[in-house]
Every structure is written in C-alpha cells, then in structure tokens.
Structure 1
Amino acid sequence: MTGPVPVVIHSDARQTITKAAGHAAPLEAGGLLLGWWDSGRVIVHAAVEVVDPAASGTSWIRRENLAQQALDRAMAALEHPWMGYVGDWHSHPAPCGASVQDLKSIRMASRAYPQPLLLIVHRSDGVLDIRAARRGRSQIVLEVTA
C-alpha cells in the first residue's frame, strides 16, 4: 500500500476507549481494536478493554491470555462475518501521544499481518493519537468519517 492509510473509527469504539481511559485514570488502560479492512481502509468497529492488573501511570501491557479471552468474548457477541483484530489501543494519563516503545511494538506486531495494524493512544486531553504500521514499517494515517 502506498500513501496514507485511511482509517474509520466508529463512535462506539471511541466511546469505549474514552470511558475506559477515564475510569482507569491516573493509570493507563488498554485493549484491542476490532474491525476489518475494506478497499484499503481500516474500519474500527469496536474497542474492547483488556485489563492489565499491573497497569501503572506509565505502563499498560497486553497480557496475551487475557487479550485472547476478551477477543473470544467480543467476537462471539459481535457476530460480524468480517470482524477481526485490527490493532491495539491504550491510554496515557498525560497529554502525550505514542511513545517510542509504542511505535516499536506496533511495527513489530504488524510483521505478522499483510494489512496495516493500528495503534490508538488516548491522551489525557481527549485526543486520539492514531498510528499505523504495515509489515514492520510505520504508515501515515488519514482519519476519515464513516
């Protein structure tokens, strides 16, 4: 794919992220982004919280067993034929976006997928910092409305 990665984030996904970030503050919260790829766009239909029992004000780690359980529950509840994992989200209880470690993590994870993966960081000022990576390389994101 050349050029920016178009991303559509449904309002339910935004609300889930914002609500979870607010409840967790001053700790980080995070989870999975669920959706699909369509005509070069990444559609984020839902966000699922995955609790990290060791989350702090500067760290949230996706615990694989908890993430898989959350994914299985969400997929069963959503029952959408195209639905799948399209990335991760987490909050920063400060007005800062994705860290160097965050960007490294999404680039590494993207190596396992032919399509772009997303990372959304919810900042304390309510801004969503949206990043994408494909096959280990960062991509420019173009957020579009549904």
Structure 2
Amino acid sequence: MTRTLTLTAAVWRTLRDAATRALPREIGGLLLGYFTELGPHVVEARVVPDPRATRIRYQRDAALAERILDSSIRADSTGLVGYLGEWHTHPLPIGPSTTDINASGRLAKVGGHDIALLVLATGSRGWIGHALNLDPAGNMETLRVHVEGTGNDG
C-alpha cells in the first residue's frame, strides 16, 4: 500500500501562493504536523526565505528555520504539531533532485527520524506535488500527495 502525504486545503493554498509569488525563483520551508499510519499529515507549512535563491537553487537558513520551528511548536496548543520535513519548489516540471534526496536523507540520519520531502513543480496544469519519505536507515519511499477536502491530489 502506498502511503500518503496529506495536506490540509489551507496548507496547499499557502504552498501554491508562496510558490507563485516566488517565481521565477525557488522557495521553500518547513512542513509541520503529525505522523499517522497512512503517512505524514501536514497542518502547517512555514516559509523559510532564501534571499539568494535562483531558478534552480534553494537553500534554507538553518538558524532561521530553527527559530520558525520553535515559534510554531510553542504556538501549538494541542501538543500534536511537530517537524515533519521540508518543502520547496521547482519552477520547472521536475520532481525531487538527487541533491534534494541526499539532503533530506542526511536530515533523517542526523535527526534519527523520518523526513518528509515535498517538492512543488510547475507545469502546464499548475503546481504538482511530488513527495518522498526518507528514514534514518537510508530508505526512501514515494508518497502519494493528497489535499484534504478538495477531492484532488496535489
């Protein structure tokens, strides 16, 4: 059974809007939420700007990302929201690159937990989500992308 990266409709709008505003450059940030048996469930996506981003490169600022993550977790009254992984865009119809996969794999290994990676790629039909799960042992799994409440997959 293929597991799923589930996004709330509000998260999908946030990602699409940030991606469109950033064109022609890449943009990215953090995925926040919780893990279920079906896969990661994203309830918040935070932008971590990269002023040096280009059409083919995004690198998040680790210190800024940590501050944003800490702030988001402190603001969560449910105690359920945590760090799931990373997202960024490709302003071309291309899914995760080898560089993206290797970087996420390193995060999983160093952090000792699974990392979800979501790449939004633009194409003739708008933004399309490509998702992977990487674990600390170096295993990679392709995830289906589903947007809650829309009847559509991202």
User: Shorter chain as normaliser: what TM range?
Assistant: 0.7 to 0.9
- Deviation of 1:114 after TM superposition, in Å, equals 5.3
Q: 2:104 aligns with which of 103, 106, 110?
A: 106
- Deviation of 1:78 after TM superposition, in Å, equals 3.7
User: 1:81, 1:69 → 2: CA distance?
Assistant: 18
3-state SS of 1:20 partner: helix
User: 2:68, 2:61 → 1: CA distance?
Assistant: 11
The two structures have a TM-score, normalised by structure 2, of 0.84
- Report the equivalent of 1:41: 39
- Deviation of 1:105 after TM superposition, in Å, equals 1.1
Question: Is this contact kept in 1: 2:12–2:147, CA < 8 A?
Answer: no
The residue identity in structure 2 corresponding to 1:80 is: T
Number of equivalent positions: 144
Give the fraction of aligned pairs with identical amino acids, expressed as a percent. 26
User: 1:34, 1:130 → 2: CA distance?
Assistant: 14
Q: Gaps spanning 5+ residues in structure 1: where? A: none
Q: Gaps spanning 5+ residues in structure 2: where? A: 149-154
**1:45-99 CA-partner distances (Å, limit 9, x unpaired):** 1100000111111111011111012212322334331101001000111111111
The two structures have a TM-score, normalised by structure 1, of 0.88
User: 1:110, 1:31 → 2: CA distance?
Assistant: 16
**1:26-58 CA-partner distances (Å, limit 9, x unpaired):** 010000000011235211111000001111111
- Which of structure 1's runs of 4+ aligned residues deviate more than 4 A? none
* Change beyond 3 A, Cα 1:28–1:145: closer
